[in-house]
Amino acid sequence: MKKHIILSISLLVSLSVFASAKAPVVKIETKEVKGKKVEYKYINGIKVHETDPA
């Protein structure tokens, strides 16, 4: 009986943690580098880009 209660409580706690997680904020900017347009992507304020602009 105790095991069942503990498992139920741990399941509810883990579900509430995942439910409160926010979706990532994605922002896309286009800048001109050496005459080429380069697209930059920011995910949660961290700059990433898929291709090498060089």
- State how many domains the chain has: 1
* Residue 52 included in any domain: yes
So what's the pLDDT on residue 53?
A: 61
38, 48 Cβ separation under 8 angstroms: no
Over residues 6-28, mean pLDDT: 79
Domain that holds residue 43: 23-54
17, 9 Cβ separation under 8 angstroms: no
Say if residue 51's pLDDT is above 70: no
So what's the pLDDT on residue 10?
A: 84
Residues 34, 27: Cα–Cα separation, whole Å: 22
Each residue's pLDDT tens digit, 22-32? 788 999 999 89
* Residue 32 included in any domain: yes
* Residue 16 included in any domain: no
* Residue 10 included in any domain: no
